[in-house]
Amino acid sequence: MASRGFAVWNIEYRRLGAPGGGWPGTFQDVALAIDHLATMKTDGIPLDLSRVTVVWHSAGGHLAPWVEARSRSFWAGPALSIPTVMTFPPDSHVAAWRQATHHSRQRRRCTAH
């Protein structure tokens, strides 16, 4: 993505079970990272903050919608609107969904006769 002109940033945050992880530490880490985008822009890094997209995968998937909601809340940091949020489930969820749909199709075939 970076080779195509996108600014890409992987946020690290304290996870549940790690010292300071969970509430509020995990959310503070994510908030600080998102708020830092405005600082980077002020420091001269050419970022288009009107086109920020938050993408999250797996265990952090719940954080992307939180970031978007935070951008509209009274306790947001610097005014940074998050117009696009994408979350992806972990592979185990995809496998479970595939298995459930496969069994559902099999049941429909058996009961259709």
Give the CA distances from residue 80 to residues 16, 27, 38, 66, 97, in Å, rounded to whole numbers and listed in that order.
27, 16, 8, 14, 35
Q: How do residues 5-24 score in pLDDT, each as one tens digit?
A: 888 888 889 998 999 998 89
Six-digit token string for 3? 């080779």
pTM, rounded to two decimals:
0.69
C-beta of residue 79 within 8 angstroms of C-beta of residue 111: no
In order of 14, 28, 76, 105, 110, the CA distances from 33 in angstroms are: 12, 9, 12, 44, 52
Does the pLDDT value for residue 101 go beyond 90?
A: no
Return left, alpha or beta for 22; rule: phi > 0 is left, psi -120 to 50 is alpha, else beta. Answer: left
Neighbours of 43 (CB within 10 A): 9
Nearest-angstrom CA–CA distance, 100 and 106? 10
Query: Which tens digit of pLDDT belongs to each residue from 34-74?
Result: 889 889 999 999 999 888 888 887 777 788 888 888 877 76
Distance CA 91, CA 69 (A): 26
Regarding predicted confidence, which is higher, 63 or 98? 63
